[in-house]
């Protein structure tokens, strides 16, 4: 692996200058701009397994993995071959295919408490549609989300959202009207009493509670014991639908996602990223009586020309079938992530800096904090300026971390023991000069 004090990134600099002439900010998703950590974003040319390669030929061990879906690593041969074969039949029909049925059958066979599923084209669309369905099913308008949880960029979700908004310190979003956000109620993550107070103050008006069961948009935030169980009980008592946003956790934490791993059933679940094997895709699913309210069976309208796109479906089908048939993949992912956790903990202790490491399955994040990080306020109060310096030191040693303290790291099955050791060596060296 190329490791120097300062990599040559001249080509990326040139491309960024050129991109800013025709693309707002030079990027097509804000976090890619490196605004949080500073510096110039790197432009990638290709990736394979655990590694990404930039326009200057530098190689990086990747801990973003396209923000989660590359569970088997980049350009995994089985998915690439499946896409190539299917593309010869056409990239889109705008008509039903048998493959859509097979994909739906696979998802419902793997994920608990899901009887029916509707394919869409992104995680944002999945969450937006699930909320509309919850409102249509319950006849209520308000919903509860959690500070720092990101459910895509639909208007109603951009209230105290994490991820990119936290990175850019955007508290209010121009273009989102008061009318669009007035029914959005927010509570701190892991604060069950706050949720109970909201339901008390808005009795009979709340359609849904939507949550990342393991949050990944303020770093990795793990649900405290009893928190999700309390939400489930509260929803049952109040006739509220519980929506799990599993765009990140779905099929990553277990074959049945966070529902299986945590042993808690949601009423509706949203998916993205992973179920397309890296292709643009999303889905939402749940109980039959709820899902039958979606058109054409019901009067809650949702549509999409590219929904069930055959290229995304074959990529996702290939990925999910592999994960279902090889449960040892999850044990290996957990063990690799645990090794990173232990090694990073040792390095941070030796540095003398205060820190918190949060980990759940193959999701992990490092916070330079003196106190536990259990919600967005905790993550925001950490020494994120130090994280930014750490990010660049690691980047210059060939370790590609998420360019924001408010994002979780994702571990792939392609990361080897040698890659872990290289990562930990880079961490020790970086912390020594931080």
Q: Which residues are catalytic?
A: 150, 245, 273
Rounded to an integer, what distance in angstroms lies between the CA atom of residue 15 and that of residue 56? Answer: 11
Rounded to an integer, what distance in angstroms lies between the CA atom of residue 158 and that of residue 170? Answer: 10
Rounded to an integer, what distance in angstroms lies between the CA atom of residue 122 and that of residue 245? Answer: 12
Edge-to-edge strands of the sheet including 363-367? 356-360, 363-367, 409-410
**Helix axes 192-201 and 227-238, enclosed angle (nearest 10):** 20
Judge contact between 54 and 60, C-beta under 8 A: yes
Q: 186 φ, ψ to 5°?
A: -125, 150
What six digits make up the tokens of 244?
Answer: 């799990």
Q: Which residues pair with 143 in a beta bridge?
A: 184, 208
């Amino acid at each position: 692996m190329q490791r120097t004090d300062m990599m040559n990134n001249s080509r990326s600099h040139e491309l960024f200058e050129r991109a800013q002439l025709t693309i707002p900010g030079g990027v097509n998703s804000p976090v890619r701009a490196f605004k949080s950590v500073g510096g110039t974003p790197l432009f990638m040319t290709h990736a394979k397994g655990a590694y990404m390669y930039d326009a200057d030929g530098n190689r990086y061990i990747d801990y973003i993995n396209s923000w989660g879906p590359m569970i088997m690593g980049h350009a995994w041969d089985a998915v690439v071959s499946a896409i190539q074969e299917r593309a010869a039949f056409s990239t889109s029909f705008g008509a039903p295919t048998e493959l859509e049925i097979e994909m739906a059958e696979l998802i419902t066979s793997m994920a608990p408490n899901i009887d029916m599923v509707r394919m869409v084209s992104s995680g944002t669309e999945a969450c937006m549609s699930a909320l509309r369905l919850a409102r249509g099913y319950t006849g209520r308008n308000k919903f509860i989300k959690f500070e720092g949880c990101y459910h895509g960029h639909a208007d109603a979700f951009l209230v105290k959202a994490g991820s990119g908004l936290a990175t850019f310190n955007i508290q209010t979003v121009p273009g989102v009207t008061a009318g669009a956000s007035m029914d959005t109620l927010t509570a701190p993550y892991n604060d069950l009493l706050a949720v109970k107070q909201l339901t008390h103050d808005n009795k009979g008006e709340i359609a849904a509670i939507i949550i990342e069961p393991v949050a990944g948009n303020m770093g990795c935030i793990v649900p405290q014991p009893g928190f999700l169980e309390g939400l489930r009980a509260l929803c049952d008592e109040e006739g509220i639908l519980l929506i799990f946003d599993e765009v990140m956790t779905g099929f990553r934490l277990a074959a049945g996602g966070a529902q299986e791993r945590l042993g808690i059933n949601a009423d509706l679940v949203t998916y993205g990223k992973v179920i397309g094997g890296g292709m643009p895709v999303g889905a939402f699913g749940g109980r039959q009586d709820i899902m039958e309210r979606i058109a054409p069976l019901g009067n809650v309208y949702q549509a999409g020309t590219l929904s069930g796109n055959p290229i995304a479906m074959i990529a996702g089908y290939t990925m999910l079938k592999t994960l279902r048939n090889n449960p040892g993949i999850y044990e290996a992912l957990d063990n690799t992530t645990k090794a990173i956790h232990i090694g990073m903990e040792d390095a941070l202790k030796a540095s003398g800096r205060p820190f918190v490491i949060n980990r759940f399955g193959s999701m992990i994040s490092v916070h330079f904090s003196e106190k536990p990080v259990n919600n967005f306020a905790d993550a925001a109060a950490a020494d994120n300026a130090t994280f930014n310096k750490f990010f660049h030191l690691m980047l210059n040693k060939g370790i590609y971390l998420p360019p924001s303290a408010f994002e979780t790291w994702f571990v792939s099955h392609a990361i080897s023991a040698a890659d872990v050791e290289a990562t930990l060596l880079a961490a020790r060296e970086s912390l020594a000069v931080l």
